[in-house]
Structure 1
Amino acid sequence: MSSDSPQEIGRRIAACRRARRYTQTALAAASHVSYAMVRAIERGARRPSDEVLEAIADALEVDVARLRADHAGMERRVHRALPALSEAIAGYDLALGPPTRSPEELTEGITTAEAWRLAAQYGRIAAVIPGLLTDAIRYVHAAPGAEHQDAARMLASVARTADAVAFKHGAHDLSARLIDLMRWAADRADDPLVRATASYVRAETFFAARAHEVGLIAVEQAIDAAPPPDGRTQAAARGALHMRAAVLAGRAQNAAAADSHLAHARQLGEQVGREGCYLGTAFGPESVRIHEVSVAVSLGPEHADRALRAAATWAPGIDLPAERCSGFYIELARAQDWAGRPAEAFNSLRMARTAAPQHTREHPWTREVARNLRRFHRSDAESLTHFAHWVGAV
């Protein structure tokens, strides 16, 4: 049974509906749920089933966990998708027939899935990504010569979105295979910016293996191979690699290299001028500032004050991707816990959940901080216990 009362669920649905300027009648039509049921749910008179809740969330274009914190449907959907993803890429180098979608339909589906990735809506991605990935692979093999490079760029994008689902849910072997596919596609796109993006994503394999020194070397080689930062997109691609290198250097306890890469990223962020999404990666002054916190946390507990100073009197803007905002608050919570600020740490975890519930729930540091807070700090014990149950920390 959910720890959220029907009244709480109803209030959240009503708030999301009003934010989208839907009437109850419009929500009922969009979700294929009866008007009487929508009214009863919003009043708290009915508890929605998983199927009804997911239909309403899809109609409102929000993560189901925003409506009910302990919803488990997303995890089931993701774990059902992982074997299908593995099957889809088993013979990616083989021509197995034409795609079922037109190039226009494939582009639309991949663009939508990328937006869900940036919003950390992994359950929605999982429902469509095996089919999209299969069609993107087939399109690379079937595309006429004039379309081949665009087809390869599309495959690199959808492989990255699939990887986000695998990596965030601990399927690191599958994640590594998807990254290999992304790099294969980048080579066929013959586009240095796509190669730079693939190198940025490849850093996940080094994080997963804790091979931080090797990862730093690989990313530094990618920086050397990246195109000159002559334009905004080129500067953003290089700046994102410097952010990755800074965090890898921090985890390798190489503070000098971390600071050097942060300085380069900061300079490129100023050159780009405004925060944006470039080739599927958020970059700009705000992303660099978030990585200042990430680097300090990566260096360890003795650098907690540095992380707190970087986050002082500042918070991520609402236009940043949800996953990046959530990551900022999770890392900040870790620093606050180290600094002996349990109330602030718990508040940061709740901010992370508000920004991106699925990302927060799957992040190992969320569980680490929640478990530590529950063990050593007794303030707000009931709320903390509910949160710890939600993330699987107890």
Structure 2
Amino acid sequence: MRRYLEFLGYDVKFVSNFTDVDDKMIKEANKEGITVPEVADRFIKAFYEDIAQINVQKATINPRATDNITEIIDFIKDLVAKDYAYESQGDVFYRARKFKHYGELSDQNIDQLVEGASEHVGDTEFAKKQDPIDFALWKKAKPGEIKWDSPWGEGRPGWHIECSVMSTKYLGDTFDIHGGGQDLEFPHHENEIAQSEAKTGKKFVNYWMHNGFVTVENNEKMSKSLGNFVTVHDLVKTTNPQVLRFFLSSTHYRRPLEYSQDNLQKAADNLDKIKTAYNNLKFRLDGAEDASDINDIQTQVTKIVDDFKTAMNDDFNVQNGLTEIFNLVSLANNYAAGETVAKNAANVILEAMVKLTSILGVKLDDQQDLSEEIQQMVDQRDEARANKDFATSDKLRDQLKDMGVILEDTPQGTRWHIND
């Protein structure tokens, strides 16, 4: 989404915050005998390493909750002053019922929420709340926990308040797009709206975008609790990161993403078709000259790009967008197969392929240089073919294939690519 908006010419400010203190992290820190910030630093470093592997750009800003404690406390103080929040035995809770739009984003009925909350809230927390659906803004510190001073005693922020504070701090009281998984729509995003709009008196977010779950066999949700998950960190050890990125990028964001080896292989095959078309046409540039008239190619490419935009402008319909990318692939293949190729016409196609696939985070122009040893083998095979020594030619082809180098014999000569 970010890459597409930038492709359209928008200046995108992307904030992705880190919750670097919560119950699980406190438990892990105590277990390992280290501090919560040390746990956070380790996982944040790993996160950056993993997203770099699949060509995900870093956010404009990655704020941390623990760097914004003063702002969080001030935000809560404002809500208390406006009677949207109250202190109870060292905790601070938000009066959910007081916010008249509570539940509208997720289409929740307030009475059903009360009934559900009554069943799931523990006796201790229930006793502190004035209403079962109220939620925590500030939590009183337990012995041995990381904590900060506040007007309500030592404690730490609740999860929901962190996101309201950091998003409004860096993006303003109202911003354009807020994303997240479908499981965050309620209560997390509902609570963010209630907190933020109660404080600012302004609309919090213009567009909410909730992505579907990653699923495995039988449409079962991939999750840590079910033990049916695989991580990017492990997957890139056996799967080309470009293939994984293409797989992740080729499903509409609201639809479930069905993970399987078969679907990964389909992604690999489709990506190979795109890269092969690109490299075949690029190969034809050698010795090609500019043509005086490339209007026909320019018209075809312009229409494909316009149709791609139409697809993506329809709620980021990436599947229809991919159809247009493959229309570009067909155009590239047909043009590359011609007897003559005009350099300027070929470049129009190639540049469009790079622009559209880069929106998906895929790099087409990443052909590796051959080592001196392999280049000599390719040259020896070309010589053997020229001398009609097909036994030697076939032997060298097989040896190169075993080394991961795939050869393609074309009317314009031999071209190669590294097998992913």
Q: Structure 1 or 2: larger strand share?
A: 2
Q: Structure 1 or 2: larger helix share?
A: 1
1 or 2 for the larger relative contact order (CA 8 Å, sep ≥6)? 2
TM-score tier (shorter): under 0.3
Larger Rg: 2
Q: TM-score, normalised by structure 1?
A: 0.24
Q: TM-score, normalised by structure 2?
A: 0.23
